Chains A and B, each alone.
Chain A
Amino acid sequence: MYKNFCSNCSKVFAFLLICSSFAYPQGIPDALRLGESGLGANARALGMGNAYIGLSDDASAAYYNPAGLGLLKRLEFSGGIDYSTYNNNTTFFNNTSDYSNSTTRLDRLSFAFPFPTVRGSLVFGISYHNTKDFTGALKFDGFNNGNNSLIQVLNEATYYDNNGNPYNIPYDLGLNDSNLVTPINGHLNQSGTVLNSGSTNNWTFSGAIEAAQNLFLGLNLNIITGSYNSNNDYYEDDTQNYYQGAIATGESSPPIDFQTFNLNRVLNWDISGWSAKAGLMYQFNNYGRFGLTVQFPKYYTVKETFTVNGTSYFANAQYNLNQQDYSDNVKYDIVSPFEFGAGFSINYKGFIFSGEGTAIDYSQLKFDNPDGISAQDVGTINKDIKDQLGAVINYNVGVEYTIPEVGLRLRTGYFVQPSAYKGDPSSFNKKYFTAGIGILAQETLGLDLAWAHGWWSTIGDNYASNESRTYQDIKYDKIMLTATYRF
């Protein structure tokens, strides 16, 4: 809370009111977090590069292509776990840092029930599966010799509560004076860590029917649940002793010799929502299959809790933020765009070759129904999304070979999820190489193991645009085990 404020604060308020909405806005990364595709939860599919729209013939079809459920002839229980590691090699002002994060989770439990038929096929399924993994990590440490800092950016942003009371972080931390003037002008060492975790999961109810000979139609309805947690710990240190004097001049006992500014921001999401997906599968006798899917927009509701703690250190003082003053609870919807998928699989003497493409226009991502955020802010974000994101086509290829004598299946695959940002170089596309193995015991119990290795580059700004930027090389690995019991 503001400690003291100037007499002519009304003028300052008028200016800061304009800036207030930019203090901690939601943004494109938030929309992309939910809008981008996940890696699914089936080891056989992952081993084949997730090229499964044109092959889906198990209970996981509920996720990949609901029409594929119609190919099931036996009851199926299946489920699995996965282990993921996220490694981030970051370059920040010519310094490199490595940081990693990992998670282990139960990624799927499914049941499929084919009704007895005299002709054709009718199958229903229920599944709980992981759809997206938010595991992430970032560490950076470097000296920013520019005339900028987060302190300066925050100094220009004041937040007002419902009663009109102003809040300004640098002021509460003794980093500016009563006129909101700060001597801080960059030349600080900047460092920090970011740890992300969480996931989205679907309760999926699906059904498929053989509508004409060899033609299967399917539909799923998903109830989405999930959570996201991000812990961002950021420091600015006067390692070169630029700021030895008094910071808030004019006060009776001003802090002197600024040393460290720390801001800890914790973002928690409670995610809920729903979605639906329709699929078609046509089987060309023993030669192959062709599949189409339409993923209807996913409607996410995000209940956001944003918690801010801060501390500043001087030679003669230490200031702490009152957490209550800068923490926030808001609610909003994020709506993802349509996704159109087409895939095929070709069957040739024990080999199954599969491929697929999925078209997504990320510019149609949008925020909606804000509660605690102004409609103007939401409009600004949605405009930014239109301006900065574009349409992409994800593509996946895979192959599987069965050794019939031992019931062993070997797989490999490759897929690419292009960057949603317009104009990003190809190195920013998420690329995955996958491999897998499967065995069958007693004609009823299948075990599949898959490994996926992903790599891509990305950038991140601590504030502003390209003033405090991290250049990140990501390596992502996932090991997935799926067990399937058919009876």
Chain B
Amino acid sequence: MKKNILKLILIITVVISFGGCYTILWSPDEQLPSGNNSSENSENIDQIYYSEPFYGDYNYYYGHPWWITRHPMYLPPTQNENVDKGNGVNTIRDNNTIRNNNGTRNTTDNNRPIINTGPPVKSSSNNNNDSSGSVSKTSSNNNNNSGEKTRASEGSRTNDDNSARNNNGSRNSGNGRK
């Protein structure tokens, strides 16, 4: 039996030696691993093992490495959501909190669709003294900004008795249970 165990240990050692160790440690002179590139396999597997639909918060409890910063939860925008582009954090605004032009709550037009407007365009002619008050400007330096709303960060959790039997040990005469 002991020989078999030694053989097993030897086989495992040889397999690991030839294949190289799978684990790669982070070294201090490297940037600390972040969401997408660290522990690419084991982390994902563990998160899948305690998948969120069936294990809820245990998914994070078991699956998220401590050395990876946890990103905010990603929630796709819906028609009832507005998105703050500035800091990349998903800011959900209930329609009831949208202020109207008068600075008061809009309580009458809750289902009004959000209109995505393009970026201001600056005109190169600089002759936009349009009495119509149009804010449209065009510029040759215009960036290729499509004007679509985008998120600054897409980070989300998905990336992350002698011989006898005596009475309880007392010593007996030694002629016990055979």
**Interface positions of A (Cβ within 8 A of B):** 22-30, 33, 57, 70-71, 73-75, 114-122, 136-138, 140, 150, 153-154, 156-157, 192, 194, 196, 209-215, 217, 228, 230, 232, 234, 265, 267, 278, 280, 283, 285-286, 289, 294, 306, 338, 347, 349-350, 380-381, 384, 387-388, 402-407, 409, 421, 440, 443-444, 446, 458-466, 470, 486-487
On whether the beta carbons of A118 and B37 are closer than 8 Å, the reply is yes
**How extensive is the interface on chain B, given as a class?**
35 or more
Contact of A118 with B26 in the complex, beta carbons under 8 Å: yes
Across the interface, do A232 and B167 meet the contact criterion of CB distance under 8 Å?
yes
Supply 13 further A-B pairs (C-beta < 8 A) apart from A118-B39, A387-B178, A402-B58: A71-B62, A73-B39, A120-B21, A120-B42, A136-B168, A140-B167, A153-B172, A194-B169, A210-B22, A350-B54, A388-B178, A402-B54, A407-B57
Complex interface: chain B residues within 8 A of A232 (CB): 167-170
Interface hits, B23-69 → A, CB 8 Å: 23-26, 30, 32-33, 37-43, 45-46, 48-49, 51-58, 60-67
Q: Does B12 contact A (CB under 8 A)?
A: yes
B174→A25 contact, CB < 8 A? yes
From residue B33, how far is it (CB to closest CB) to chain A in Å?
A: 6
Q: Report yes or no: B25 in contact with A350, Cβ–Cβ below 8 A.
A: no
- B173 and A157 within 8 A (CB): yes
A130 to B39, CA, bound (A): 33
Given contacts A114-B66, A294-B5, A465-B164, contact A120 B22 (CB under 8 A): yes
| Chain B positions within 8 Å of A286 at CB level | 45, 48-49, 51
Q: How far is the CB of A134 from chain B (nearest CB, A)?
A: 9
- Among A23, A463, A470, A487, max chain B CB count under 10 A is at A463
Contact of B61 among A194, A211, A228, A486 (CB under 8 A): A486
Chain B residues near A70 (CB-CB < 8 A): 42
Task: Summarize B's interface: helix, strand, loop or mixed.
Answer: loop
Whole-angstrom CA separation of A267 from B170 in the bound complex: 8
Sample (24) of A-B pairs whose CB atoms are under 8 Å apart: A22-B175, A24-B171, A27-B163, A27-B174, A28-B164, A73-B63, A73-B65, A116-B38, A117-B24, A117-B25, A119-B41, A120-B39, A122-B23, A138-B167, A153-B175, A213-B42, A286-B51, A306-B171, A404-B56, A461-B165, A462-B166, A463-B173, A463-B176, A465-B176
In the complex, whether B3 has a CB less than 8 A from a CB of chain A is: no
A388:B163 contact, CB within 8 angstroms: yes
Task: Tell me how far the C-beta of A119 lies from the nearest C-beta in chain B, rounded to whole angstroms.
Answer: 4
A347 partner residues in chain B, CB cutoff 8 A: 49
Any A CB within 8 A of the CB of B1: yes
9 closest A-B pairs by beta carbon, nearest first, are A120-B23, A404-B56, A384-B163, A460-B167, A350-B54, A116-B67, A22-B174, A232-B170, A24-B171
Given contact pairs A57-B62, A120-B22, A120-B42, A464 touches B168 in the complex (Cβ within 8 A): no
CA of A136 to CA of B170, assembled, Å: 12
Asked whether, in the complex, the Cβ of A443 is within 8 Å of the Cβ of B175, the reply is no
Contact B168 A459 (CB under 8 A): no
Are B55 and A404 touching (Cβ within 8 A)? yes
Chain A residues, Cβ within 8 Å of B66? 73-75, 114, 487
- CB-defined contacts of A230 to chain B, threshold 8 Å: 168-170
B43 — which chain A residues lie within 8 A by C-beta? Answer: 73
CB distance from B56 to the nearest CB of A (A): 3
A465 engages B64 (CB within 8 Å): no
Does A460 lie within 8 Å of B174, measured CB to CB? no
- Nearest CB of chain A from residue B46's CB, rounded to whole Å: 6
- Residues of chain A within 8 A (CB-CB) of B175 are 22, 153, 463-465
